[in-house]
Structure 1
Amino acid sequence: MIYKCTENQRGLILDFLAEDPITNLFVVADIEKYGFDSLDQDIWAYTNELEGIEGVLLRYKDIAIPVHGEEFSGFDTFLPLLQSLDEIKVISGGKIVVDQYIDYFPELEVTETVISVCRELLGQPQSMTLVEELEKADIPAYVIWQNQCFEEPSESEMVLSEMLASKDVIIKIIKNEHNQIISSGRVSAESSQAAMLTRIGTVKTEEGKGYATIITAYLTQHCLENDKKACLFYHNPTAGSIYHRLGYHDTTKNWSMLKAKKEETKKNIFQELIS
């Protein structure tokens, strides 16, 4: 049986997700932060004949995260529900879960990353003092930085301003002598047990100078000082080597995302620009 969850099911849902708090970090963090009454979020649970939870499906805005095992009796229930959610642009989750949905969403392509966790920071770069807080005045430059470093377009200045005001994220930056942002990273999801580092990068002209290491170390230290395991995703072996030197260890479970193919993404962005 599948049902939409309310606050009455909070304990049951979080107990189920606690079996893998790292892979389920985003779902746990969203439930702890936004609860069950937010218009941006819906949570469904699938139970077996004994009323034990076998699967959870979270919708946060245009992202869906299914959580269940490899042998999931509720798959034929979750699939049509996912297909009916017109607003969904991304399906993400543990690789063994997302793999089960790939063939049913041929318009989307899959990307896979390694999940790595740090419980103890190994050393601190001497240049940690270079790290600054992203201020509202820095937002236009930060948008430019993101567009230089990542394939996906940056959030708008308005969205970033709202994120900073609501403290939804922690964004740290490093500037050069010309006051330009050259490196940055953020903590974008925090549960009571762990926090996720994302959007770590450096502009190409400044790569190889250790800035990404400094940013990662700073954010990792922040997480650990708040008694939370620091987590991140990566697919680049060079980036992985940086994280490993700081004390990160890869888990045995990778993370996958189903999202629009790059050509379609570019087409949609162009359409937004001319509409």
Structure 2
Amino acid sequence: MIRKLTAADHDQVFSFLKKEAAINLFIIGDIEAFGYDQDFQELWGEFDENGMLKAVLLRFYDSYIPYAPSTFDVNGFAEIIRSNDGVVRLSGKSEVVEQFENVDGLSLGKKRVTYFCECNTISFTDEDEAYDVKLATVNDVDRIVELRRRISEFTATPASREMLLKSLETNTGRTYYIEEDGQMVSSVSTTAENSLSAMVVGVCTDERYRQRGYASVIMKKVVKDYIRAGKTLCLFYDNPKAGRIYKRLGFYDIGTWTMYG
């Protein structure tokens, strides 16, 4: 049986999602931030005959994330997703979301698969760094956006500034940075921060300041701050070279994450 979830289901939902807290950090974060009664966010649960939760589906605006540790009613969730006209923005644990590829009537859009990794220990030597890593505030949003615009690998969207500002205002994300001569030259951000974990995003360095180890220094600071706060850090990567850098900092692969749209 599939039905809408409400605040009355929260304890069971949270216990269910915590079993794979890293994989479920987006669902957990959105529930903690916005609850069960918003027009832009809905949650559904599939229950077995004993009333035990088997699967969860999150809608956040026009994006959907399903989660299930084993078999679930793919067609039932697909029927809910189909009610949203147009190309579906679907993402999640690869073993879960790739089952929707065989469902008729879903326009999933372009597929992208990335590695999903996590870090929950400090595995490097805690030594004094040569560079001063600063924590951004809402007053730094335009400087962060400007740094990203200078970097060819980044695509700035009209919503980028608003999303960054919202994360800083709601404490669901942080940005750490290094500056030279008053200019921000390297930064690392987190997003979807919740009581258990956070996602690393926006790792970037101005092309003129690369090969100086700035990003690695910032990443060490990020790892230390979150791990000492008892939180797991997660990130996506599809570049093996970047993956090796992250693994030297204590990250390890826990699966793959597939996105459509």
| TM-score (norm. length: structure 2) | 0.87
Match of 1:186 among 184, 189, 209: 189
Change (3 A) 1:31 1:233: same
1:94–1:256 CA contact under 8 A, matched in 2: yes
* Number of residue pairs aligned between Structure 1 and Structure 2: 256
Change (3 A) 1:146 1:90: farther
Match of 1:243 among 241, 246, 255: 246
1:128–1:218 CA contact under 8 A, matched in 2: no
User: 2: distance between equivalents of 1:207 and 1:116?
Assistant: 24
Q: Secondary structure at the match of 2:230?
A: coil
Alignment of 1:38-57 (within 5 A): 38-57=38-57
Q: Does 1:31 align with 2:31?
A: yes
Q: Report the alpha carbon displacement of residue 44 of structure 1 after superposing the two structures with TM.
A: 0.5
User: 2: distance between equivalents of 1:152 and 1:56?
Assistant: 31
Match of 1:256 among 248, 255, 258: 258
User: 2: distance between equivalents of 1:209 and 1:41?
Assistant: 42
Q: Report the alpha carbon displacement of residue 146 of structure 1 after superposing the two structures with TM.
A: 2.3
Q: Does 1:232 align with 2:235?
A: yes
Q: What are structure 1's unaligned runs of at least 5 residues?
A: 260-275
Aligned to 1:77: 76
1:61–1:87 CA contact under 8 A, matched in 2: no
2:172–2:194 CA contact under 8 A, matched in 1: no
1:171–1:185 CA contact under 8 A, matched in 2: yes
Aligned to 1:271: none
Q: Report the alpha carbon displacement of residue 4 of structure 1 after superposing the two structures with TM.
A: 0.8
Q: Secondary structure at the match of 1:57?
A: strand
1:125–1:214 CA contact under 8 A, matched in 2: no
Superimposed CA distance per residue, residues 205-247 of structure 1 (whole angstroms, 9 cap, x where no aligned partner): 3232211111211111111111112222211111111111111
Q: Which structure: greater helix fraction?
A: 1
Change (3 A) 1:233 1:53: same
Change (3 A) 1:43 1:164: same
RMSD: 2.3
Change (3 A) 1:189 1:160: closer
Q: Secondary structure at the match of 2:244?
A: helix
Q: Does 1:165 align with 2:169?
A: yes
2:189–2:202 CA contact under 8 A, matched in 1: yes
